[in-house]
Chain A
Amino acid sequence: MSCGNYIFPAIMIEIQDLHKSYKMGHNSLHVLKGINFSVKEGELVSIMGSSGSGKSTLLNILGMLDEADSGSYTLDGLPIKNLNEKIAARYRNKFLGFIFQSFNLISYKSALDNVALPLYYQGVKRAERIDKAMAYLEKVGLAKWAGHLPNELSGGQKQRVAIARALASDPKVLLADEPTGALDTKTSYEVMDLIQGINDEGRTILVVTHEPDIANMTKRIVNLKDGLIIDDTKVEQVRALSNV
C-alpha cells in the first residue's frame, strides 16, 4: 500500500453490521452475528475460520450469491441490496471474479471457451472474446493448452484456467473459495504465486482458506469464529515462490 504519497487507496468493500441466519426447520441458525469489515483497493485478504464459522456465508454474500438479513454491503461505492436475479447476474459478471475449490470448469468446453464464457455473458463478440480469453490463458501460462478439455488438464492447470476465467471480465474483486483445497502443496504454492502476481498488479483479492500457510501468503488475515470477526491483522506476506 502506497500511503507515502498521500493518496489513500479507495475502499473497495465496506460491510457494516452484517447479520445472516438460516431457518432449519423450527430452529433458526444465526450464522453471521454482526460483521464489520472493509477492504481497500489492491488488498490481498484471507478469511480464515473453522467450518461453521460463517466464512462461506460471508463469501456468498460478498459474491452476491446470497443476501444478508440486515446490515449494509457496499462494493466500490455501489450499495448492494435488494438485487433481483437479473441485476445480481449483471453485477457478478461486471464486478466479481470467482475461483472455486473444485474449479467448476464446464467439462465439455475447451480451456479457451471456458475462459471466454464470462465475456459471452457480457455480450462480447466471438472474435474479440477469443482474443481476450487467449491473452488471459497466456497470462496464466496455458496458451498451449487452449484447445484442451478440462479433463485433459492437471489440477493445477485447471485452477489456472479457472483463474484466467475469473480475470476475463476484468472484475474489481476476485473471490477465491479455498482455491488450493483440492491441490497438493507444490501446486498450491504455484497457484498462490499466480494469485500474488495478480495482486501485485493492483487487483483486490479475497481468499477463503483454512490452511495457515496459504493465509500467510496474503497481506491480511481475518479470523472468523461463530459468526464474528475475532481477529483482523496485517501480516508480512510470504512469497509463494520462495517455498516452491
Chain B
Amino acid sequence: MFDLERWQEIFETISKNKLRTFLTGVSVASGIFILVVLLGIGKGMQNGISSEFENDASNILYIWTGVTSKEYKGLNPGRRIVLHNEDYNTTVANHQDELEYKSSIYRIWNGSVTYKKETGSYRVEGVLPDYQFLENASMVQGRYLNEQDVNGSEKYVVIGNKVKTDLFKNGLDPIGKYVQVSGINFKVIGVFSDPGGEREESRVFMPLPTAQRVFGGYDELQNLSFTLEKEENFDAALAASQRFSAKLESYLKDKYNIAPDDNSAVTVNNSLENAKRFFDLMNMIRLFFWGVGICTIVAGVVGVSNIMLIIVKERTKEIGVRKALGAQPISIIGMVLHESIFVTTIAGFVGLISSLALLEFVGPLIETQYITNPSVNFNVALSTVFILVIAGALAGFFPARRAAKIKPIIALRDE
C-alpha cells in the first residue's frame, strides 16, 4: 500500500487515461452521491414524522367510548357508553405505580368564548392539572390549573395562544381578565403554547369539576388520558403500554357489559403503537433507500470493473513482461487491486463530500410536512466509506485475477 513505486505506477497509468478514469469515477461518485442523498432524505422523513409526534407526550394513551355494535349478555347493540369519574378514580387507584401523568376530560364542543366585543368558538375542556404535560403544553404567561383550582372548582380558564391573539387585541394582557364561556364568567389565569400549532392552541381549559358542574355533565367524562412511567427502551415502553391498555380495556368492557370483541364501544388509542407503525414504515423506507443506493453503487462498481478489465487487456503485454522479469502473481494482483481501490475511493469521496455539502446547505431549506432537516450522521458516512473500499476491491478482483492468469509467454510473442 505504501509502496512509492506502486503509487507512481498508478498515477502514471491514470494520467495516461484521464478521460477514461474520469468517466469511471463519475459513475462511482454518482452512486455514492445518490446513496447519501437518499439516506439523508430518509433521515429527513424520520425527523419529519417524529416531529408529527411531538404534539403530545409520545407515550400517551387516550381512552374514549362510543356506541356498542354487538349484542352482549342480552343487551342490545346501539347502547351509548359513557365514562364516569368513578372509572377514572378506579383506574388511577389500580395502576398507581405505573402512571406518570393522568387526567380525565370533560369536553364542551363549540363553546363560544367572549371577551368584550370579540367572540370565538373554541374547544372548551375540563381537565386535571397533569393535562398540561399530556398535551406537551408550555406556559407563555401565568400558570396552568393546579390541584386547588380543581378542588375548589374555581371558575378559572387557561387559554391557548391563538385564543389570546383572537380575543385580546393590541397585545392586551389577558391575565386576570374575565371571559365569558357560553355566557358564564371565567377568570383567565394563564396562556399556553403547544408544539401542535394553532389548532392545538385554539383551546380553553378549565378545572374538570367546574366544567362538569357548570355545563351539566354531572360525573360524566369524554376521555381518559394517561402516560406511563418511563421505561428503559422503546420495546419495553411499548410492552408496558400494551399491557396497560389491554387491562384497562377489559376492565371497562367488563364493567359496562360490552362484548370483548366490540371495538367501537371502547377505544384505547395507544400512541406508542401508532409510533411503532410509523417507525416500522420508516425502517422499511430506509431499507428501501439503502437498497436503491447500493444498487446504484453496484452499477458504478461494474463500470470500474469493466474499465479495469480493459486496462488489464491493454496491459497484457506489459504484465507478461513483468512476469518474465520475475513478478509474482500476487504483485500483479496487488497492482490492479490497488488502482481500482484508489479510483473508487477517490471518486467515492468526491460523491460523498458533494452529497454531504448538498445536504448541509440545501437540507435546512427543505420544509415540507414530512421532511425535516435531511442529514446523514457520521456513522452512515463511515459505512459508505467502508462500502467504497469493499466496492473498489470487488471491482478490481476479477480484472486482477485475469491479470494474474496472463502467461508470461505472450511477452515473447510479437504481433
Residues of A within 8 A of B (CB): 56, 59-60, 63, 65-66, 85-86, 89-90, 92-94, 98, 100-102, 104, 106-109, 117-118, 120-122, 126, 165, 169, 177
Contacts and interface: CB of A to CB of B under 8 A. Distances in A.
A118 B327 CA distance: 8
A101 B322 CA distance: 16
Contact of A121 (B327, B407, B411): B327
Given A60-B409, A108-B13, A126-B4, A94 B414 contact: no
Choose among B407, B409, B414 the residue with the greatest number of A CB atoms under 10 Å from its CB. Answer: B414
Sort chain B's interface into a size bin. Answer: 20 to 34
A89 B317 contact: no
Contacts of B328: 85-86, 89-90, 121
A65 B409 contact: yes
Interface string B3-38: 011000000110010000000000000000000000
Given A104-B317, A126-B5, A121 B412 contact: no
A66 B411 CA distance: 12
B321 interface: yes
A65 B414 contact: no
Given A89-B328, A104-B411, A120 B323 contact: no
Nearest to B4: A126
A84 to B, nearest CB: 10
Nearest to B330: A86
A31 to B, nearest CB: 13
A244 to B, nearest CB: 26
Interface in B288-335: 317-318, 321-331
Contacts of A169: 325-326
Interface string B392-415: 000000000000000111011010
28 contacts: A63-B324, A63-B412, A65-B324, A65-B411, A65-B412, A66-B409, A86-B329, A86-B330, A89-B328, A92-B324, A92-B325, A92-B326, A92-B408, A93-B326, A98-B324, A98-B411, A98-B412, A101-B414, A104-B317, A106-B322, A108-B16, A118-B326, A121-B325, A121-B327, A121-B331, A126-B4, A169-B325, A169-B326
A61 B387 CA distance: 45
Main secondary structure on B side of the interface with A: helix
Contacts of A109: 12
Nearest to A120: B5
B323 A89 contact: yes
Contacts of B407: 65
A98 B327 CA distance: 13
Contacts of A177: 412
Given A85-B328, A98-B411, A126-B5, 4 more contacts: A65-B324, A66-B409, A100-B414, A107-B318
Interface in B317-368: 317-318, 321-331
Nearest to B318: A106
Nearest to B321: A104
Contacts of B5: 120, 126
B414 A102 contact: yes
Contacts of B329: 85-86, 89
A106 B414 CA distance: 15
B326 A60 contact: no
Interface string B162-185: 000000000000000000000000
Contacts of A117: 322, 325
B135 to A, nearest CB: 73
B129 to A, nearest CB: 81
A56 B13 contact: no
